[in-house]
């Protein structure tokens, strides 16, 4: 669900609800599922001034991130610090790596508590024209169809520091007019530093995915779970669907998510209940009906499992106002 949003805006807000956060992300089509237990807390800042988009996000929970990046824009995502663990398209993101999203690219990531990221989005024609501005004619070719850029550490750190400074200035201004004035002052140097980081790439990773049996099995298992999770498949059924042994599947899930296939499946179904309850009308919704749809029949056990993951009861989730969508252009 989405609606039209005008360009030139500034948005900054703290969130205590995963669906509220997901519904508020402008221009990105995103779906988050919480893996670890605890209250969700996050902060989101986004600025769109027509030519460029800048964003900052911070989460306190381990999340699976799926969806697609902004259409018609190249997006560069840079962790705000070196110490984060990010699984991006099946592999660990290197410390000196920048994630590259081509327009409308599929999002496939896992992030851990403390996730803290800057994003900078711009249209392809800006990169195409960069050869005239900065004498780097290969900038668009270097990022076209790439998933990750492995950059010179010092160049990358300069870019990181610049984005951090820009972010703090935006938070201090906190208005669209202030953001527009800042971007008119910083857009040239931000683009220059971005292109310097791109050109400094010692290794450009194309198709940042793995062909390992374990990774292929994991992808098949996640697709199977998404399609049949309401039917409560067993781990053995998932193994049969993916064509691998239970041990291989266990290792694949532990390596990617830090949990077993059984726990992942349970968490996936609980997230499904959570998402439905956040969107339902409390006056006409029976929690038991939603729970039964997702394969939960013992309400007492559901309440305990749900509360352990989300730190609240299903009834508390249902009572909150439905999230307001301000998604895409």
Specify if 137 maps to a domain. yes
Specify if 1 maps to a domain. no
Specify if 197 maps to a domain. yes
Say how far apart CA 46 and CA 53 lie, in whole Å: 7
Q: Is 311 found in the same domain as 261?
A: yes
Count of C-beta atoms within a 10 Å radius of residue 43: 16
Which tokens go with 39? Answer: 């209250």
Backbone angles phi, psi at 165, to 5 degrees: -65, -45
- Count of domains forming the chain: 2
Q: Is 152 found in the same domain as 32?
A: yes
Last residue of a domain, one of 187, 206, 225: 206
**Contact between 122 and 196 (Cβ < 8 Å):** no
Q: Is 303 found in the same domain as 265?
A: yes
At residue 1, the pLDDT reads: 33
CATH code of residue 97: 2.60.120
Say how far apart CA 7 and CA 49 lie, in whole Å: 6
Q: Give the sheet arrangement for strand 63-68, strand by strand.
A: 29-34, 63-68, 106-111, 86-88, 91-92
CA 276, 24, 304: angle at the middle one, nearest 5? 35
Structural domain of 180: 9-206
Which tokens go with 319? Answer: 């009572």
**Cβ within 8 Å of residue 268, ≥6 positions away:** 33, 225, 226, 229
Q: What is the pLDDT along the chain (329 residues), one digit of tens a residue?
A: 333 344 677 889 999 999 999 999 988 999 999 999 999 999 999 988 777 889 999 999 999 999 999 988 989 999 998 878 999 988 889 888 999 898 999 999 999 999 999 999 988 887 777 666 666 656 566 676 678 888 888 888 999 999 998 888 888 876 666 666 776 677 777 877 887 787 777 555 555 555 577 888 898 999 999 999 888 899 999 999 999 999 999 999 998 999 999 999 999 999 999 999 999 999 999 999 999 999 999 999 999 999 999 999 999 999 998 887 665 55
Specify if 248 maps to a domain. yes
Q: What count of Cα atoms within 13 Å lies in the side-chain half-sphere of residue 249?
A: 25
Q: Is 220 found in the same domain as 98?
A: no
Say how far apart CA 160 and CA 77 lie, in whole Å: 10
Q: Is 82 found in the same domain as 104?
A: yes
Specify if 171 maps to a domain. yes
Specify if 2 maps to a domain. no
Q: Is 116 found in the same domain as 18?
A: yes
**Contact between 221 and 242 (Cβ < 8 Å):** yes
Q: Is 143 found in the same domain as 26?
A: yes
Last residue of a domain, one of 181, 206, 231: 206
Q: Is 144 found in the same domain as 91?
A: yes
Q: Is 150 found in the same domain as 257?
A: no
Which tokens go with 209? Answer: 């995915």
Q: Is 229 found in the same domain as 170?
A: no
Say how far apart CA 300 and CA 302 lie, in whole Å: 5
Q: Is 158 found in the same domain as 286?
A: no
Specify if 327 maps to a domain. no
Specify if 326 maps to a domain. no
Q: Is 270 found in the same domain as 300?
A: yes
At residue 76, the pLDDT reads: 92
Last residue of a domain, one of 174, 206, 238: 206
């Amino acid at each position: 669900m989405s609606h039209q949003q005008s360009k030139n805006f500034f948005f900054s807000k703290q969130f205590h609800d995963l669906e509220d956060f997901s519904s508020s992300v402008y221009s990105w089509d995103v779906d988050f599922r919480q893996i670890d237990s605890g209250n969700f807390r996050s902060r989101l800042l986004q600025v769109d001034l027509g030519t460029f988009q800048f964003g900052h996000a911070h989460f306190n929970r381990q999340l699976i991130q799926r969806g697609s990046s902004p259409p018609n824009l190249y997006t560069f995502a840079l962790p705000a610090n070196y110490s984060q663990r990010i699984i991006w398209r099946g592999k660990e993101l290197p410390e000196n790596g920048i994630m590259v999203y081509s327009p409308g690219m599929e999002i496939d990531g896992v992030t851990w508590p403390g996730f803290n990221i800057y994003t900078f989005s711009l249209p392809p024609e800006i990169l195409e024209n960069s050869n005239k501005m900065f004498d780097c004619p290969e900038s668009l070719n270097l990022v076209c169809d790439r998933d990750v850029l492995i950059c010179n550490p010092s160049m990358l750190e300069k870019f990181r520091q610049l984005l951090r400074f820009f972010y703090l200035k935006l938070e201090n201004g906190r208005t669209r007019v202030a953001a527009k004035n800042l971007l008119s002052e910083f857009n040239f140097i931000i683009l220059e530093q971005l292109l310097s980081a791109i050109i400094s790439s010692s290794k450009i990773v194309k198709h940042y995915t793995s062909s390992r049996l374990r990774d292929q099995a994991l992808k098949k298992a996640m697709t199977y779970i998404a399609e049949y999770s309401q039917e409560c498949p067993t781990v053995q059924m998932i193994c049969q669907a993916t064509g691998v042994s239970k041990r291989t599947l266990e290792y694949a899930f532990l390596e990617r998510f830090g949990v077993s296939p059984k726990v992942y499946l349970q968490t996936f179904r609980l997230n499904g209940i959570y998402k439905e309850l956040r969107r339902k009308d409390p006056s006409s919704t029976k929690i038991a009906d939603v729970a039964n749809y997702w394969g939960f029949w013992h309400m007492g056990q559901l309440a305990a499992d749900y509360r352990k993951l989300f730190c609240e009861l299903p009834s508390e989730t249902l009572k909150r106002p439905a999230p307001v969508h301000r998604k895409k252009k």
